[in-house]
Structure 1
């Protein structure tokens, strides 16, 4: 099993399905969301994949996971598209092309694991999807993230077009029991990033906009959301009463 320079991190970082991985290190940062497999093991598990350029023709892939079985050992691998025809890469039973370092969930069921490798090792068909396995039985796969799509007609790999870059970006600081600034006015297309600078665990949740919802954030972690439509978006921290904020989006 080919492997790159492996890096394991115990820290956490705060999905949108964007584009398939390209071979160029100049590719933009890409974010993918894990989904449950049909096995429904670890039913509370969730997470995301972040792929970014780490140097010339080198990519760093970071898996941020939560809701795992506390203190349980896991493994994760890149897989290529397999021989089984399916519109879902996770269902094609593809071979392993790159491995992540083995890791264990924390006492709260969270983990972050990284692998740095040549872009060519995950380009083309090599990085079609990522599976998270139970280390004790690699046939147990609680989570999968699709990085490439297959064509239902031909079964060949196709790449989703790259999205248009956001028009602007702004940062909201998360302190203990306060969002600062509490109210922000932005134009449609702006990406807002919440940066945790406090001590307690916080999150960003909107009842009216279900897609506006972060995982639990600890100090140093962040969460970003792009507001594509005009409107008023109220949000709050589900852990602390009265900790609220508002994003006003104009055309």
Structure 2
């Protein structure tokens, strides 16, 4: 007997990514079980139940995809854990306390958490970790350059920080102890072993990220460009289906893509 279609809910149904997620859920063979908006009002062009409360949505879903705001993370984690609903989380910029709430939820339900659900970004981030391990900070300066649309309110982007964190993990250090961001004025020479960030904003760029390693004798660059936000929606729906048979734990897109079974 065939398994029942996966019931997927979308937190923030009326957002730019939320609307794309609604389309991709149906295209991927899932059931769009509902969504949330701040006031519970229906979303034009999307035919599904709409709720103002995440707990109401959770009881009708096998998994909820969540690209909302950092201020909702603690409440969403508690609600989904209480209902036994799996969670695909793309919200970035979490504090330590908010991350603890995600970790706590992952003790009760399966969670995929990622700064970016693009398969290409996932691979670039993995390579950044491997390059960080192979190219020591004493010889190779690591810089991360990102550019986004003019409406983006945070910098560096969550994806850029994830790439920087991957470089730091490869080098066996903490990003927070080596980050250089927002250089301006007379800053003095670059610190040895620093991981630098530069953020550009303009137009309607969906997302561009480059990880650059430079030594005295050579330079290596990894670049990823997103042309359409749909790539994030497609990846998140893929993660939702992957979660169907997983036990409670915290996963990421490397798990979804099967990369962690590949020997380093």
Quickly name the TM-score band, shorter chain normalised: under 0.3
Larger fraction in strand: 1
TM-score, normalization: structure 2? Answer: 0.22
Larger fraction in helix: 2
